[in-house]
Amino acid sequence: MTIKIAIIVGSTRPGSNGNVRGIPRKGGDVGRWVLDLASKRDDAEFELIDLAEIDLPLFDEPFTPMMARYTRPHTETWSQTIDRFDGYVFVTPEYNNAPPAALKNALDYLYAEWTNKAAGFVGYGVFGGARAVEQLRSMMGELQIADVSAQVGLGLHTDFEDLQYLRPMPHQEEDLTEMLDQLVAWAGALAPLRARSKA
């Protein structure tokens, strides 16, 4: 069995363009950095999922996700996307000491599709996204996702040139490798539970 890991970019903030001056969006760059390094591994397959491209509305299902009685096409599509993975890397910025609302919303849409999977985290922000990751960790238990202890924290002042362009310090690649090692191992170890739940 090949372990399949989704790298989920949790920010939907638009970047700067010709009409609006602003700080370039970082989530996509961070997600691609994770994918580039992860793709060199031979123990799992990795795929990038950017919530800015998924375009989920605020949760609009009439039934609780635990019932899996989906009525909206976007929910069915999201369910099928998430269900095919064994684990996840959540890439998150930190907004007001918390992860983005879009990421929590994406998590809240589903239940069974997340359970008995594994998760790792790559945070970024002034404090490396640490407080956003801590809030996500508290959600993982409710979704029955096993979150690994190793994580990556990219600091705006240390890992981004001019606070904009991703330039990770050398140790960040080591931290990412350690997190992915744990993530792939746990995703594999939970396979019997996933198989039992679908039997």
- The tens digit of pLDDT for each residue in 123-152 reads 999 999 999 999 999 999 999 999 999 999
For the cut 60, the answer to whether the pLDDT of residue 82 exceeds it is yes
Domain residue limits at 147: 4-12+22-198
Q: What average pLDDT does this structure show over 63-88? A: 97
Tell me the CATH number at 171.
3.40.50.360
Reported as a single tens digit per residue, the pLDDT across 12-67 is: 988 654 445 566 789 999 999 999 999 999 999 999 999 999 989 999 999 999 99
- At 97, give phi and psi (nearest 5°): 65, 20
What does pLDDT average to over the chain? Answer: 94
Q: For residue 97, what are its two tokens? A: 């000491």
Higher pLDDT, 196 or 138: 138
In contact, 152 and 183? CB cutoff 8 Å = no
pLDDT value of position 199? 66
Q: What's residue 25's pLDDT? A: 84
Residue 191 lies in a domain: yes
CA separation for the pair 109, 87 (Å, rounded): 17
Q: CA-to-CA distance for 199 and 197, rounded, in angstroms?
A: 6
Checking if the pLDDT of 172 tops 70, the result is yes
What's the 3-state SS for the chain?
CCCEEEEEECCCCCCCCCCCCCCCCCHHHHHHHHHHHHCCCCCCEEEEEEHHHHCCCCCCCCCCHHHCCCCCHHHHHHHHHHHCCCEEEEEEECECCECCHHHHHHHHCCCCCCCCEEEEEEEEECCCCHHHHHHHHHHHHHCCEEEEEEEEEEECCCCEECCCEECCCHHHHHHHHHHHHHHHHHHHHCHHHHHHHHC
Give the count of beta carbons closer than 10 Å to the beta carbon of residue 132: 27
* Residue 4 identity (one-letter amino acid): K
Query: Tokens 């990556």, residue?
Result: 152
User: How many domains is the chain partitioned into structurally?
Assistant: 1
- The whole-number pLDDT of residue 168 equals 97
| Structural domain contains residue 77 | yes
The answer to whether residue 17 sits within a structural domain is no
pLDDT for the residue 22: 62
175: pLDDT strictly greater than 50: yes
